[in-house]
Chain A
C-alpha cells in the first residue's frame, strides 16, 4: 500500500470581495477528495459560498454540494468528493449596506 498524497493550495490570501469572486481554476485530477477552508478575516453582510466544477477549466457548473452561508468572521470548511478535475469556489457577499468580505481561501486535496 502506498501512502496517500495530500496537497494544500492557497487560492486567495486576502481577497476583498464586495460583490462576487470566483477563484482561479484549480486542477485536482489525482485527488479523491478535497476540502475548502474559507477564512473570513472581515465580513459585513452575508457570504454565500458555492462549489463549482468543470471538465475543462473553462465552463463551470455547481457541484453536488450544498451552498455554504457565513454570517460572521472566522473559518468555515466543507468536503467535496467525486468532482472530476477542476474545482473553484464562487464567493458572493450581500447585505443592506456596503457588503464586504476579506477572504483567505485554502483548497486541500487528498488521493
Chain B
C-alpha cells in the first residue's frame, strides 16, 4: 500500500465553528435531536388543550431530495437531508427544534447548509406573482418564509428569543426577499392560559401580527435556480451572545450583516423549569395553499465558552 492520504473531514471543513462544538448534525442517521415542536398540554395528556396554532407543526423527515422530473437529487454531504414540510394550507408552519442547555455564557454560533422550495405543481397551476419566462418560474413566488430562532432562558427565569426570518414573499405572494425580526416575544401557552391571546390554526406562532415584524439589511436574492426541483445549498452562519442577550452577526453566503443593533425582545414576566434553556429551531411557513419545504443538509452549533 502507498502512503496514506491526509485525512480531511470534508464535512467539518465547510464550517467555521467557534472553539467548542456542541453538535454537528448530518442526517445520514436519524434526525439528530431535531424534532417537531408542539404546544404544551394538561396533566391528562389531553392534546385538545394544545393551543390551536401550535398543535400541527408536522414531523421532520429524512429526505433524499427526490423529485418527479429527475428522481433523486441528493444532498451536499450525503444521502439525506432533514426536511421540514408544511401542509398545503396558507399560513401553515412546519418546525424542527433542538433542545440543549447552556454550560456557560458567551458567543453561540449556529451554521447550516440549507435549501428551500415550494412543492412542484404538476398538471395544474397555482396563482403566482411571477410568470414563467424560461428563466423565472411561478414556483419562486410560492415559497413564503423560513425562520431560524432560539429559545433561551436563564438567570432567574429571564427568557428571550433571537429570531431571524428570510421572507421570500409577503402574505400577498409578492416577492420581498428580505430578512426580518420580530419586536415582540413569541406568545406562549402560559400567555394563553392567562387569557392574553387565543390564536387560530395557521397563525404565525413566532409573532402573529405582521405589524410586529421589521426588515433589516438590504433585499437579498438567493439561488432558487429556476424550477422547483433544483436544489442549491446555501451557507448560513449566525452569531448571538448569551451574555448580553443580543444578536451579533448573520452571514448568508457572501453577505455579512451586522446584527448588533437588531433587538432581542425579552418576556416581561419570568419562567420556571427552563434554567439554562438553549433551544434552536428552524421553521418554514407557506403563504399560499401549497406545501413549502426547508431542507437542511447539516447543522453545526458551537460556542466560545
What residues make up the interface of A, taking CB atoms closer than 8 Å to B?
Answer: 2, 5, 7, 9-11, 13-14, 24-30, 55-59, 85
List A contacts of B79 (CB < 8 A): 29-30
Q: Does B85 sit within 8 A of A, measured CB to CB?
A: yes
Q: Compute how far the CA of A14 lies from the CA of B46 in the bound complex, rounded to whole angstroms.
A: 10
List B contacts of A29 (CB < 8 A): 62-64, 66, 72, 79-80
Question: In the complex, what residue of chain A is closest to B83 when comparing beta carbons?
Answer: A27
B9-31 toward A: CB 8 Å interface, digit per residue (1/0)? 00000000000000000000111
Residues of chain B at interface, number, CB under 8 A: 26
What residues make up the interface of B, taking CB atoms closer than 8 Å to A?
Answer: 29-31, 36, 47-48, 55-56, 58-59, 61-64, 66-68, 72, 79-80, 83, 85, 87, 119-120, 122
- B31 near A24 with CB under 8 A, answer no
List A contacts of B66 (CB < 8 A): 27, 29, 55-57, 85
Q: Chain A nearest CB: distance from B120 CB in Å?
A: 7
Report if A24-B58 is in contact (Cβ < 8 Å); known contacts: A29-B80, A30-B79: yes
List A contacts of B30 (CB < 8 A): 5, 7
6 CB < 8 A contacts A-B: A13-B47, A28-B62, A29-B64, A29-B80, A56-B67, A85-B66
Question: In the complex, what residue of chain B is closest to A29 when comparing beta carbons?
Answer: B64
Q: Chain A nearest CB: distance from B72 CB in Å?
A: 8
Q: Chain A nearest CB: distance from B28 CB in Å?
A: 8
Question: In the complex, what residue of chain B is closest to A106 when comparing beta carbons?
Answer: B59
Q: Compute how far the CA of A24 lies from the CA of B57 in the bound complex, rounded to whole angstroms.
A: 12
- A14 near B62 with CB under 8 A, answer no
- A27 near B64 with CB under 8 A, answer yes
Q: Compute how far the CA of A55 lies from the CA of B68 in the bound complex, rounded to whole angstroms.
A: 7
Q: Chain A nearest CB: distance from B52 CB in Å?
A: 12
Q: Chain B nearest CB: distance from A10 CB in Å?
A: 6
Q: Compute how far the CA of A14 lies from the CA of B201 in the bound complex, rounded to whole angstroms.
A: 14
Q: Chain B nearest CB: distance from A32 CB in Å?
A: 13
Q: Chain B nearest CB: distance from A16 CB in Å?
A: 11
- A26 near B61 with CB under 8 A, answer yes
Q: Chain A nearest CB: distance from B176 CB in Å?
A: 27
Q: Compute how far the CA of A18 lies from the CA of B47 in the bound complex, rounded to whole angstroms.
A: 20
List A contacts of B48 (CB < 8 A): 14
- B67 near A13 with CB under 8 A, answer no
- A27 near B36 with CB under 8 A, answer no
- A7 near B64 with CB under 8 A, answer no
List B contacts of A55 (CB < 8 A): 66, 68
List B contacts of A58 (CB < 8 A): 68, 119-120, 122
- B56 near A13 with CB under 8 A, answer yes
List B contacts of A2 (CB < 8 A): 29
Beyond the given A2-B29, A9-B59, A58-B120, could you list 7 further A-B residue pairs with CB under 8 A, ordered by the A residue number? A13-B55, A28-B61, A28-B62, A56-B68, A57-B66, A58-B68, A59-B122
List B contacts of A85 (CB < 8 A): 64, 66
